[in-house]
């Protein structure tokens, strides 16, 4: 026990000298600055002294350090450094768990420091710091990542293969993938950042400048006589509710479909298109109040807040005919839900109903908790498409919230619970009175809910955490 304490003290003293930022992602050439002009390079577990130009074999760092010392080092590393650290050898990779494995459970991406008490907090990441949190369900730990690309931006969509759709108050809308990295320079690849048409190019939106402040104005589809007018920060937080893509491979012709926040209407943009604008699916009354959307068997489907499902046909750029909305199945026969999700699972098109309940505590009367889900699928086998209740999803698990809804095979992801729904909180109050706190795992087998906390039991987590799955594709 005395030996372990001395080892820990020695590592603590030397951690300051370990510039882990300079670790090369290639495991055959890991660099450790040692101070002064001398430096040592680790190749294949053998240390070489470059200054003296000799290959003096020292002890293997990978084999000499005990597990508890390696774990102490890992605690001081942020997310990108853990990736580099894990490339050294299998032992170091195992200590970096859960980062280094393709079968890691989807992450929660959110604030590293909760912004709920900031007077200027919103649904966007803080503009004064670049630290983002990646929360692992496996060990209930938040990993730190320095991502200045997300500073002062709101995540409006978390998509397969690690793509994040973000919005800045200056009107910029981007696709950003934190996991596309140049292995030689250890910087983000230009392919990881894609600019989309800005907020000002959303259907029915114009801008005006009043006393040097930018406002976004427009008309409502549902109430044509009603006009909205938002300052830039509020518009950033309300302009897009959800996103779906036709492919996780971002190439020319990839279609991005969004639910536009003010009316919850559908609009789309085609990557590589001539027109740098968001095209409305329709300006008719029926194109509003949608809860969620997905791409299924070559077409986009969306679920309405009343519980019916539509398919979007004719999504083409510069077409003489506008896209059309067609109801494929009417409202489901079950109790009205607080929210609906739509996604593909094992070849079936599922619609999930989410039910909330307000808490009775007078101090938190505005708060709520999820109390249950119901899973339905669309049966396409008959003459008419019909609803079928799904009592079990077998070895599948669903991930729902402010992300693009998705499913995984539970036995392929370590620690994943089968026949369960993992959910985050996509209900929040723009005055920061509540939101981001309703997180948990719902069991379809017995109806139980196991809640968990992102950072603490705070009733406000800003910005709200969303699921992030870089190891999935569509």
**Which domains, ranges and CATH numbers included, belong to the chain?**
65-96 (no CATH), 98-468 (2.130.10)
- pLDDT above 80 for 92: no
pLDDT band at 51; cut points 50, 70, 90:
very low
d(CA 277, CA 269): 7
Partners of 146 in the β-ladder: 131
Least confident segment among 32-36, 131-135, 249-253, 410-414: 32-36
pLDDT score of 433: 61
Average pLDDT, the chain: 78
Stretch 7-24: mean pLDDT, rounded? 42
More confident residue, 130 or 313: 313
Would you say residue 45 has pLDDT above 50? no
Alpha-carbon distance of 421 to 428, in angstroms, equals 20
Q: Which has the closest alpha carbon to 221: 245, 200, 203, 236? A: 203
Return the minimum-mean-pLDDT range out of 67-71, 157-161, 178-182, 366-370: 178-182
User: pLDDT tens digit string along 222-260?
Assistant: 777 678 899 998 899 889 999 999 998 888 999 999 999
Query: pLDDT higher for 340 or 56?
Result: 340
What pLDDT sits at residue 376?
Answer: 98
Among residues 17, 23, 162, the alpha carbon closest in space to that of 86 is found at 23
Give percent of the chain with pLDDT exceeding 70: 71
In this predicted structure, the answer to whether residue 55 has a pLDDT above a threshold of 50 is no
Please give the Cα distance from 292 to 85 (Å, whole number): 39
Token reading at 381: 């086998």
Flag whether pLDDT at 432 surpasses 80: no
Residue 330 has what pLDDT? 96
Per-residue model confidence (pLDDT) at position 341: 97
What would the pLDDT profile of 289-325 be if each residue is shown by its tens digit?
999 999 999 999 999 999 999 999 988 766 657 788 9
Q: Where does the pLDDT of residue 181 fall: very low under 50, low under 70, confident under 90, or very high at 90 and above?
A: low
């Amino acid at each position: 026990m005395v030996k372990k304490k001395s080892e820990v003290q020695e590592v603590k003293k030397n951690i300051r000298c370990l510039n882990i930022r300079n670790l090369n992602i290639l495991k055959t050439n890991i660099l450790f600055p040692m101070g002064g002009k001398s430096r040592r390079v680790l190749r294949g577990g053998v240390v070489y002294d470059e200054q003296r130009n000799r290959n003096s074999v020292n002890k293997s760092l990978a084999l000499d350090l005990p597990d508890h010392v390696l774990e102490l080092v890992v605690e001081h590393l942020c997310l990108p450094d853990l990736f580099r650290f894990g490339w050294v050898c299998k032992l170091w990779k195992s200590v970096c768990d859960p980062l280094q494995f393709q079968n890691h459970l989807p992450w929660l991406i959110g604030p590293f420091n909760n912004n709920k008490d900031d007077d200027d907090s919103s649904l966007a990441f803080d503009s004064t710091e670049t630290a983002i949190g990646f929360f692992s369900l496996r060990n209930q730990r938040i990993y730190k990542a320095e991502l200045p690309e997300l500073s002062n931006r709101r995540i409006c969509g978390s998509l397969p293969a690690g793509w994040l759709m973000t919005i800045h108050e200056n009107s910029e809308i981007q696709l950003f993938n934190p996991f596309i990295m140049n292995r030689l320079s250890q910087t983000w690849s230009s392919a990881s950042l894609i600019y989309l048409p800005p907020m000002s190019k959303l259907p029915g939106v114009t801008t005006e400048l009043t006393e040097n402040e930018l406002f976004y104005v427009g008309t409502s589809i549902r109430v044509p006589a009603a006009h909205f007018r938002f300052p830039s920060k509020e518009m950033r937080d309300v302009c897009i509710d959800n996103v779906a893509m036709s492919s996780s491979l971002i190439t020319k012709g990839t279609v991005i479909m969004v639910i536009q926040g003010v009316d919850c209407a559908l609009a789309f943009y085609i990557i590589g298109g001539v027109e740098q604008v968001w095209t409305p699916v329709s300006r008719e009354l029926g194109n509003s109040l949608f809860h969620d959307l997905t791409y299924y068997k070559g077409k986009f489907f969306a679920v309405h807040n009343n519980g019916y499902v539509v398919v979007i046909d004719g999504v083409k750029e510069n077409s003489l005919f506008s896209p059309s909305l067609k109801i494929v199945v009417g409202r489901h026969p079950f109790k009205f839900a607080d929210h609906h999700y739509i996604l593909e699972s094992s070849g079936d098109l599922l619609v999930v109903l989410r039910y909330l309940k307000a808490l009775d505590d007078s101090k938190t009367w505005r708060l709520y908790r999820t109390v249950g889900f119901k899973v339905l699928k669309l049966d396409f086998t008959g003459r008419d498409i019909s609803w079928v209740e799904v009592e079990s999803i077998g070895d599948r698990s669903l991930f729902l919230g402010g992300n693009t809804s998705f499913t995984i095979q539970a036995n392929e992801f370590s620690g994943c619970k089968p026949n369960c729904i993992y959910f985050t909180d996509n209900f929040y109050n723009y005055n920061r009175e509540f939101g981001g706190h309703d997180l948990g795992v719902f069991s379809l087998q017995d109806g139980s809910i196991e809640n968990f906390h992102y950072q603490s039991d705070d009733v406000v987590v800003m910005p709200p955490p969303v699921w992030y799955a870089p190891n999935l594709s569509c």
